[in-house]
Amino acid sequence: MKTEVKRWLETGIVDVFLGYKRMMNHPLPYCFVKADLEAVDDLITGPARYSLEKIATHIASVRPDLKIGMLARDCNQRALNVLFIWNQLSPDQVKTVNVNCCPSNLKQHGDCSYLEPEKAGTYKQRVGLGKALDPQAVEEFSPQERLSRWMYEFQKCIKCYGCRNICPVCFCKACSLENKELIGTGALPPEAPIFHLVRAVHMAGRCIDCGLCEDACPVDIPLRSLYRKVNEIVVAVFDYETGSRPDQSPFSVLGDTVALEPKPI
């Protein structure tokens, strides 16, 4: 892999390569360039997960002429598909090196820290919702208990914006989560559940289920379960699976008219 990345940089196949380098004993995102090829010897893979494609969109917004290489797991590839569809990146602009991220027991999958989520503690099991719950599991609770459990989770929010900032497919120039008409300022926690429901609406047809929002959340809100539910609705209504196909999102107003037709509920 390192030899290939060096070749890409040397021959101009890519101008920069986004990967990981261990610094101060931490695997951190790093931008490898031709001017410092020796640094590629320190390129690593492993359990660390960052939104490299989000970094790529920032680079492309400033230097749209640059060709970008990057390490890519399955979730990175899904995110890239979404970014291509929404014209945030061009497929001709990005070249990837695939990294093993397979959930099969026949393959090592230590490269993905999210395949085996932590088990919820006993109190959270009684009053809240554990991570990585399927929407069907959440819906086994009565409507009143679901509301109570979600409100328990939402009321822990400190409005740090970590979920938005780490999300590879959050790219709006003006974020509705900072709109004073929607989200009140000067108070913590933010009004529950408005903050998280506003973001959930924006994740419909866009969330690629990478789980980085949950990893970033300092108060352990099961955001993945919430976004999986809104994506389930998108699948049921539009037959659209986010990131798995090159089809334009049913919520996109960019480019050609969307050909997807709503399905009867």
Tell me, what amino acid is at 176?
S
Q: What angle do CA 56, 59, 65 make, to 5 degrees?
A: 105
What is the rounded end-to-end Cα distance, in angstroms, of the chain?
A: 48
Contact between 55 and 80 (Cβ < 8 Å): no
Tell me the per-residue pLDDT of 7-56, one tens digit each, with 9 for 90 and over. 999 999 999 999 999 888 888 999 999 999 999 999 988 777 889 999 99
pLDDT of residue 261: 64
Give 94 or 181, the one with higher predicted confidence: 94
Cα separation, 129 vs 120, in Å, equals: 8
Mean pLDDT of 167-194: 82
The whole-model pTM stands at 0.84
Give 231 or 115, the one with higher predicted confidence: 231
Closest by alpha carbon to 75, among 237, 199, 192, 224? Answer: 224
Measured from the Cβ of residue 215, the count of other Cβ atoms closer than 10 Å reads: 18
Between 35-39, 69-73, 163-167, 182-186, the lowest mean confidence (pLDDT) is in 182-186
**Residue where the block lists tokens 């108060």:** 219
In sequence order, what DSSP letters do the residues of 106-157 get, joined into one string? TS--TT-TTSSPPPPPHHHHHHS--TT--HHHHTTS-HHHHHHHHHHHHTT-
Tell me the per-residue pLDDT of 122-151, one tens digit each, with 9 for 90 and over. 888 888 898 877 888 889 999 999 999 999
- Looking at the predicted structure, is the pLDDT value of residue 183 above 90? no
Mean pLDDT score across all residues of the chain:
85
- Looking at the predicted structure, is the pLDDT value of residue 152 above 90? yes
Residues 6+ apart with CB under 8 A from 238: 205, 250, 260, 261, 262, 263
- Torsion from C-alpha of 106, 112, 116, 122, nearest 10 degrees: 170
Tell me the per-residue pLDDT of 89-129, one tens digit each, with 9 for 90 and over. 999 999 999 887 765 655 555 556 566 667 788 888 888 89
pLDDT of residue 125: 84
- Torsion from C-alpha of 121, 123, 124, 125, nearest 10 degrees: 80
pLDDT of residue 44: 87
Tell me, what amino acid is at 191?
E
- Looking at the predicted structure, is the pLDDT value of residue 256 above 70? no
Cα separation, 44 vs 56, in Å, equals: 18
Give 97 or 245, the one with higher predicted confidence: 97
